[in-house]
Structure 1
Amino acid sequence: MLYQRSSALFAEAQKYIPGGVNSPVRAFKAVGGDPIFVKKAKGAYLYDEDDNRLIDYIASWGPLILGHAHEPVINAVIEKAKQGTSFGMPTEIETQLAQLAVSMVPNIDKIRFVNSGTEACMSAVRLARGYTGKDKIIKFAGCYHGHSDSFLIQAGSGAVTFGSPNSPGVTQGTAKDTLLAQYNDLESVRALVEANKGEIATIIIEPIAGNMGCIVPSDEFIKGLRELCTQEGILLLFDEVMTGFRLGKGGAQEALGIDADIVCFGKVIGGGLPVGAFAAKAEIMAHLAPEGPVYQAGTLSGNPLAMAAGLAMLTELDKHPEVFESLAKKTAYLHEGLDAVLKDKGVPYQINRFGSMISVHFTEEPVVDFDSSAKGNNETFKKYFHGMLQNGVYLPPSAFESYFLNDALSYADIDETVEALKKVEL
């Protein structure tokens, strides 16, 4: 395939946009080469500026669970746009989407809409601190909760030390209140809790990780977290920006059988438009302004276009819960096909999967946390990514990202994907 126009557009973009992109993973730094510029998309397919058709396995990083340009969503946005795009005032549709979301998700009473997953997680942590009166948080290496200062933290010198900033612009003062634990390692969490007794407001986690590939928590780990939080008066915060309304109506809480104290949403809840949200029981949400003292605001929060897209998307999923089973079966079918081809090729690999999330790791060891994910052979991954791209399949351009399937994908598309892998030299 030729990508001449994409390359020309990237060169032009770099003159005016830092790195030529508005989100770093798009720049192909992890895999090399120039990024693909998209012209349009429909169903399971992307069409780039060189008119190549690509089978899409990122679905805009998760939100397009029913496929690109899904008609009920598009029509809802068009009709709402005719009435105005933003008012900075309350609208009925905000309550309609809130009511539907609360009815679908277990263990929440109220929800606050924002404009991104980053904003949702940032606001949820502030709420947790305000509710508990404690300052420190625990996050997990490899889990991504947006680019808020509190989350851009790397490991310190030992398991129970404070973290340190991993981005210029994040202060040491901010970093000292973020403690870093290892995913799927309950003892690392217990050690931090013990060393900071009575000081931890919340433990924030991707209940199914998607930013070090797809990584599933062990039952012992996730149940142990819930028990530990209950015992210690710590709020368990599920970042379901990726998993919410994707793994089932009730997201990861439902799929794992674990109740979180606060839940963050994004992606699917916006139907492809910029939306985030955070939710909890009424007692916790009562601490949020204007009802309580914890301040959070946003001019475009709950804007009518995003609410219309989200309401249309969640309505479809609420009426057709069989979508989740359909997606899980398609993902299992893809897993089976990739597994067979990679086995024949004789390269070390691991495939992780949960629901409609899946990832391939070129390593001999099981991938259960960030450290094991980082041991993957990135040179092999580059060959894999570019080989699949040349054969019409668009995968995440990073070994640390989950694939997100959409239900517009047919079994024929998945067969084509598996056939493409057969042609790739690893």
Structure 2
Amino acid sequence: MPSSSPIRSTNSDVLGRYYTRADISSFLVEQIDDHNPRRLLDLGAGAGSLSIAAACRWSDLEILTVDIDSGIASSYQEKLGRINFQDSRHLHIHADALSCELPDLLDTIRNPIDTAVCNPPFLIPKWSKGFSEILEDTGFSHCLPLPSSTDAAALFLAQNLRLLGDNSKLAIILPDSLVSSFKYSKFRQHLLTNYEVERVVQLPRGAFYGTDALASIFVIKKTKVVSEFLSIFKLGGDRSLSNRLVISKEHGFERLDYNFHYQRMRSRSSKLSITLSDANVLVSRGSLSTSQSKKIECPVFHTSDIGSECYGQWVDLSHFECPSDFPASSKLIMGAAGDILIARVGRNLEAKVLGVSAGNVVLTDCIYRIRAPEAMRNELLSALSSADGRQWLSSHAYGVAAKHLTKFDLLSFPLSFD
């Protein structure tokens, strides 16, 4: 794990680690097919669940584990001993997983590494000068967001590829930000253009202990022969694997999550392909942050005010109206009768949709306001709150923990699911 202190770490330990469940670790290792590994690397090994799963599958393997945590090495020997894995075939290196010196420490020139497994920390580390060298060696330096907002997982991916030999394979868990966020679209383009992504498997929430963080498994082959198509899957909560979806490499630049492409294919097969952006509607985002809403002397409508009993209903919000003597501002975004309100952020944002039957309320910036012609309001609210609409909203939102729905994606909402 990186030695730099985390800027963001939610529901994880001090190093930003989400510990992988044993069944997910075994599943990840099983995704590496048509491959006979000899020397395997587990970078930022943490509790060692991925290494143990690899040792269970390939007993004649040499395993290299790297971690910054000095107190974790002894536990590897104990765990490997339980499965009768030879001590001589395991080497642990106490080091920063993002150190530029790792190629020398691991002797990758004389003794190439042909396989790697990795569950990187889900955090944004304090930037180090050495990170630039890692990114430059793998070509990612030009396609990542600002250093202050680059996920550690992107750095771990680059470091793994930097350490692996030709025709090697990497199975790595990546957070949903790298899978579907717009800010990583250039990252995905570089990855898919220069490396063979053999498969992407979207994991269910609950795949890690103590969190419902959303992530996917990527199996990547380090080769110059890159396919124009890739296969994506979804692992269910019952650990059943979906049928394969085959998408073009170009569509993968946009996003790589199964739910998004499944819904896209359904929408494209629809009889009517009109989207929200094609209709005469106005989508606006609320104007007040949570902290600002606490400072004004007026009720403010927030996502927490959209209860399950309101879902898909026209609701009277008159009790949220500001007093008549409240000094209204043109900068405030208000919800009024006939508007449809939908959550922009939240773990279950797809379940927070309602119509305003009465009232004139101030909205937080966690809510979108949709103003549509009167003739289509009922149909639009029904579509957004239908089973298909709910699934569509969920699949187009992104985020490791709390999800976000962009205005661009909301405007692509199909007005018919026939």
Is TM (by shorter chain) over 0.5? no
Structure with the bigger percentage of helix: 1
TM-score (norm 2): 0.32
Relative contact order higher in (CA < 8 Å, ≥ 6 apart): 1
Larger radius of gyration: 2
Relative to total residues, which structure has the larger strand share, 1 or 2?
2
